[in-house]
Amino acid sequence: MDTWQHTTVLLNEAVAGLFRDALIKPDSIFVDATFGRGGHSRLILSHLGPHGRLIAFDKDPEAIAQAAQISDPRFSIRHEGFAQLGELASASVAGVLMDLGVSSPQIDNAQRGFSFRNDGPLDMRMDPTRGQSVAQWLATAPVEQIAQVIREYGEERFAVQIAKAIVARRQERGPLSGTGELAQLVAGAVKTREPGQDPATRTFQAFRIFINAELEELQQALEASLDILQAQGRLVVISFHSLEDRIVKQFIARNSREVFDRRAPFAAPKAMKLQALARIKPSAGEIAANPRARSAIMRVAERTQA
């Protein structure tokens, strides 16, 4: 069991987005593409009929352990990222939910390396059993690559200064291994910062996104959702920073219009694949109760008949 608690953001709103207007039959198949600690999954299950099914995905072994506590025959989980959504049967799913936030237990457990507030190993992998940790990457990465990652994924103005500080530290005393020292290095390189924001926020976000290939996986999962959703199936995505939300917004917009082939001007256009339904933010009450919800944006779209 986790000793760290997690409060699911936009819990009722997200599940209502999947089932809204009673267009979706409760005996359908649904997907929780990011199980986390199971808040959304448990509420979805409470809405399902006896023949409904919920398929969940998550890369985090701790999430998989949490899912093992759900003894509902309608539920199953796959230990892999949501980029694998495309392995499900075409037009077989009535709703896909993606909650892109890092769960509170991941942040609060210093051993996972996500937090700059508590010192721990510089890891940040969603699945610590696979792939390269941030510490391993920073041990050899050139200053240009480090700066590019911080600039592109953290939208950080001081990316070059931070990258140079990391490489200089590596050359003097060997590679960084702890989150606390990285946070101190970043604080020394960042000259100004928005009130209330830790200087390390953007850099830690950038390294986490990069090491887990989060944006690439999101793009793959969104494309896969088009194939697996049945007509009138719902796509619900909760984003927590502008890079994610921009990808989701542009994906829905791109697929919410007819496409004309310039090479065949008299041919019928390809029909739109999605219809945007809603953009929802947490209420003031939810933000007051859970400050980590303040940056969340939820977008809901529906698969068209085409």
b/e 177-215 (16+ beta carbons within 10 angstroms → b): bebbebbbbbbebbeebeeeebbbbbbbbbbbbbbbebb
Report residue 208 as tokens: 């986490």
Q: Quick one: pLDDT at residue 21?
A: 59
pLDDT averaged over every residue in the chain: 90
Task: Judge if 172 and 35 occupy the same domain.
Answer: no
Q: What is the pLDDT of residues 27-70, one digit of tens each?
A: 899 999 999 989 999 999 999 999 999 999 999 999 999 999 99
Q: What is the mean pLDDT of residues 189-210?
A: 89
pLDDT grade, residue 82 (50/70/90)?
very high
How many structural domains compose the chain? 2
Give the residue from 211, 239, 267 where a domain finishes. 211
Task: Judge if 23 and 86 occupy the same domain.
Answer: yes
Decide if 153 contacts 170 (C-beta within 8 A): no
Task: Judge if 82 and 34 occupy the same domain.
Answer: yes
Task: Judge if 167 and 206 occupy the same domain.
Answer: yes
Decide if 299 contacts 237 (C-beta within 8 A): yes
The DSSP secondary-structure symbol of 176 reads -
Q: What is the pLDDT of residues 243-253, one digit of tens each?
A: 999 999 999 99
Instruction: Give the whole-number percent of the chain exceeding pLDDT 70.
Output: 92
Place of tokens 């009929």: 49
Decide if 234 contacts 17 (C-beta within 8 A): yes
Q: What is the pLDDT of residues 101-114, one digit of tens each?
A: 887 677 778 888 78
Of 31, 24, 3, 66, which is closest to residue 233 (Cα–Cα)? 24
Q: Looking at residue 243, which CATH number applies to its domain?
A: 3.40.50.150
CA dist 131 → 67, 119, 125, 136, 206 (Å)? 23, 22, 8, 10, 17
Any idea of the CA torsion for 121, 126, 128, 131, to the nearest 10 degrees?
A: -110
Give the residue from 192, 211, 230 where a domain finishes. 211
Place of tokens 């604080």: 187
Q: Indicate the pTM of the whole model.
A: 0.90
Give the residue from 187, 211, 235 where a domain finishes. 211
d(CA 127, CA 62): 9
281 burial level (CB within 10 Å; 0-12, 13-18, 19+): middle
Decide if 72 contacts 45 (C-beta within 8 A): yes
How many CB atoms are closer than 10 A to CB 65?
Answer: 11
Query: Residue 279's beta-bridge partner residues?
Result: 299
Question: Residue 41 is part of which domain span?
Answer: 11-104+214-303
Q: What is the mean pLDDT of residues 261-290?
A: 82
Instruction: Give the whole-number percent of the chain exceeding pLDDT 90.
Output: 77
Residue 147 has pLDDT above 60, yes or no: yes
Amino acid at 263: R
Q: Where are the beta strands (DSSP E) in 151-284?
A: 229-239, 274-280
How many CB atoms are closer than 10 A to CB 49?
Answer: 10
More reliable by pLDDT, 271 or 250: 250
Rg (CA), the chain: 21
Helix (H) or strand (E) holding 301: strand 297-303
